[in-house]
Chain A
Amino acid sequence: MTGGAAIRAEWLKFRTVRGWVIAVAAALAAIVGFGLAGGNQGTCNGGCGPLLGPGGEAVSDSFYFVHQPLAGNGTITVRVASLASAVPAPRQGLHRAGVPWAKAGIIVKASLREGSAYAAIMVTGSHGVRMQDDFTGDIPGPALPAGWLRLVRSGPVITGYASATGAAWTKVGTVTLPGLPATVQGGLMVASPQYTQAALGVTQITGELSQSTATFSHLALSWPAAGWSGTYVGAPQGPAPGPATGYRQSGGTFTVTGAGDIAPLTYGPSGAGLMLTQTLGGVFIALIILAVIGAVFVTAEYRRGLIRVTLAACPRRGRVLAAKACVIGLVAFAAGLAGTALAVLFGQRELRSHGVYLPPVTALAQARVIVGTAAVLAACAVLALAIGALLKRGTAAVAAVVTLIAMPYVLTVAIPVAPLGVASWLMRVTPAAAFAVQQTVIQYPQVDEVYSPAYGYFPLAPWAGVAVLCGWAALALALAAIALRRRDA
């Protein structure tokens, strides 16, 4: 029997069993049903999304700015003498604490509007000197806790320099801010993000804005200095008093206290909105249903004795297994693709119409989620088929697939009981790594956040995760082919 004929035979066997076709349809319905169920009510009705930066990503732009206008080119030099942070603690008021990403330095910003383009060179709490621009750019500099900083603007090009003593300057980086207006605001900045605490290897966020105070001296401008103004850019609105910010100038020394952060907005316990995977809850049910079908597709032949007819019709045993894998894989892929596409595309619309905020996801990322999830469902069905053919027991195949895929997912994402080290190991080695294909949130090294699978950050790249699952399926198929060839039907 040729390969094409074998596939046609297997397809015929599949579609004539009413129960299997109904089960695949149920899997499709589950994905679509959960995707469109919506059910969540949000408070965001059109246009309440967070601030967007120049690159279109969601950002947070909040810091204390001691500034004056800069028209044309110029250089700002300053010495950051010290940077100290404090965190409000319950019943203790403010107490000193190390905030790794507290920032103090020089910034050139297009305007005082939140989300406008900027370039800054700064000293951070424990990450040395950094040059950051337009929220997502981050260039590391020398590892100095304090020191001299210089920012040079010429047109749209801004260059940052750092020095320990003020004599020998090292260039940290050069950035170009397209569309920078002629007159910009330049000066000193201090920012202090939400307080993070490393405990048990997991970064935790307390939700309190920390506060940092920096002392600057030897401030030198290359243009005739006008008066300084102090502004708390992006000050929090609302009745609750924000952290105390401000600046004091005595002689040539500025003491500036600031709070907030200039950084991309990350999804996590301190973030906002829901992820795209909110629409994909039904994929889980479909996964179990397709695993059961994959296992039963081969074990039913053994139970009914049909396997002898099959192997008589097609003596090439590897070909039989391959044909079965093709048929079940394609059926699962087609059902998964249709279901996921409907769930993602229409589910998003449904959620947004109920006032829930979903961070914008690029079309390419959405396509990756849709195709990737369909591929995961197909690979799971093939894995179940292979284990069923290997062990000749459907129960063991279904249990194995569910244990290898569902259990790590539940333990790390749904009920996060596993500590971060174990969680990321599980999400690298087990077939559950394939859920990385659904990651739509971006991890930024310059922002402290709880980057764990529970918040949608997977350790592997999306297609690497799918490759892990496909590797398991291929291994199982190979073993099943060997077993099928060696033993009697």
Chain B
Amino acid sequence: MMEALRAELVKAWPDRGTAWLLATGVTLSVAVSAVSVAAARCPAAGCGQDPARISLTGAYPGQVVAALAGVLVIGGEYGTGMIRVSLAAVPRRGRLLAAKAIVVAGLVAAASAVAVGAAMLAGRLILPGHGFTAASGLDLAGAGWWRASLCAVACLALTALLGLGVAAAVRDSAAATGVTLGILYLFPVAAGLVQAPDLRRHLEQISPLSAALDSQSTAGLSSLPLSPWQGLGVVALWAAAALVLGGLVLRLRDA
């Protein structure tokens, strides 16, 4: 297993493409978060906005980049035919997928820790000046703040795993990108179309994008469809289901 991990790390990290992708992702997320934080205002009478969510607006482009990283790790191998070499080197297909999962989750988690850290720092420094104070009931630098940061990093890593599982199942990187981003963005659109309130709430509960958002919230928790830890659980379930599906396809079909 250790050799498989080392092999995957060598394949993923020094590769210019992955490094550039993650660097672009970090830059884009921090930029979007900074813009969002700079534009946020809270009038004295309370604003109903969540400072953690405002600081974490960069998670939206970040999720796209994380999904891309997950897709490319295995989709790129199918595209170049490298998958045959990898499977020759590591015949235990489950082990190969697990090694890829650990490496990509680790790299994405590291990159997103940098991005989330920078974004939350910007939020903590700038938002109190815009009216988001503890006096108006908002939690800055407390347990909720740390939980939101941790869940943001975890959700980004889990999104990468979702992309990995889908790409292992679909075996074509463009189509896998379409499917993964479709899963992320379709549920909110579908929930918007449905009028029955309980069906809409269920759709919002099972949607990975909304669940990730819920896990990053610190205010107004009672009105959200899921509690923060439940949100993280939903995203984890999606990633696990995708990995199981991808693992089955990898095992049952020819490379």
Contacts and interface: CB of A to CB of B under 8 A. Distances in A.
B191 interface: yes
Given A292-B177, A395-B68, A403-B64, A285 B182 contact: yes
A407 B72 contact: no
A398 B181 contact: yes
A398 B193 contact: no
A287 B57 CA distance: 24
Contact of A399 (B53, B64, B186): B64
Range for the number of chain B residues in contact with chain A: 35 or more
A411 B182 contact: no
Contact of A200 (B41, B71, B193, B195): B41
Interface stretch (A47-55, A94-102, A415-423): A415-423
B192 interface: yes
A151 interface: no
Interface of B: 36, 39-41, 43, 47, 53, 57, 60-61, 64, 67-68, 71-72, 75, 79, 172-178, 181-182, 185-186, 188-196, 209-210, 213
Interface of A: 34, 39-41, 199-200, 274, 278, 281, 284-285, 288-289, 291-292, 295-296, 299, 303, 356, 388, 394-399, 402-403, 406-407, 409-411, 413-415, 417, 419, 421-422
Given A288-B182, A407-B60, A417 B195 contact: no
A414 B60 contact: no
B191 A399 contact: no
Nearest to A280: B193
A415 B185 CA distance: 10
B195 to A, nearest CB: 4
29 contacts: A39-B194, A39-B196, A199-B43, A200-B41, A200-B43, A278-B193, A281-B189, A281-B193, A284-B189, A285-B182, A285-B186, A292-B178, A295-B174, A394-B177, A395-B174, A395-B176, A402-B177, A402-B178, A402-B181, A403-B61, A406-B181, A407-B61, A410-B188, A410-B189, A411-B60, A415-B188, A415-B210, A417-B53, A422-B36
A292 B60 contact: no
Contacts of B40: 419
Given A395-B75, A399-B181, A407-B60, A422 B39 contact: yes
B1 to A, nearest CB: 28
B57 A395 contact: no
Contact of A281 (B41, B172, B190, B213): B190
A155 to B, nearest CB: 48
B174 A394 contact: yes
Contacts of A411: 60
A394 B167 CA distance: 13
The 6 A-B pairs at the shortest CB distance, nearest first, are namely A394-B174, A292-B178, A414-B188, A398-B177, A281-B193, A395-B173
A200 B57 CA distance: 18
Contacts of A406: 181, 185
Choose among B71, B173, B178, B210 the residue with the greatest number of A CB atoms under 10 Å from its CB.
Answer: B178
Contacts of A295: 174
B185 A402 contact: yes
B104 to A, nearest CB: 14
B39 A419 contact: yes
A40 B196 contact: yes
A163 to B, nearest CB: 39
Contacts of B210: 415
Given A39-B194, A403-B61, A415-B213, A397 B39 contact: no
A288 B188 contact: no
A375 B40 CA distance: 36
Contacts of B191: 414
Given A395-B177, A399-B68, 8 more contacts: A39-B196, A199-B43, A200-B47, A281-B189, A284-B186, A395-B68, A397-B174, A398-B177
Contacts of B68: 395-396, 399
Choose among B60, B174, B190 the residue with the greatest number of A CB atoms under 10 Å from its CB.
Answer: B174
Contacts of B181: 288, 398-399, 402-403, 406
B194 A40 contact: yes
Contacts of B174: 292, 295-296, 299, 388, 394-395, 397-398
A417 B210 CA distance: 11
A23 to B, nearest CB: 9
A281 B68 CA distance: 25
A296 B172 CA distance: 10
A407 B64 CA distance: 9
Choose among B53, B68, B186, B193 the residue with the greatest number of A CB atoms under 10 Å from its CB.
Answer: B193
A419 B41 CA distance: 10
B177 A40 contact: no
A418 to B, nearest CB: 9
B188 A40 contact: no
Choose among A281, A388, A399 the residue with the greatest number of B CB atoms under 10 Å from its CB.
Answer: A399
Contact of A414 (B79, B176, B189, B196): B189
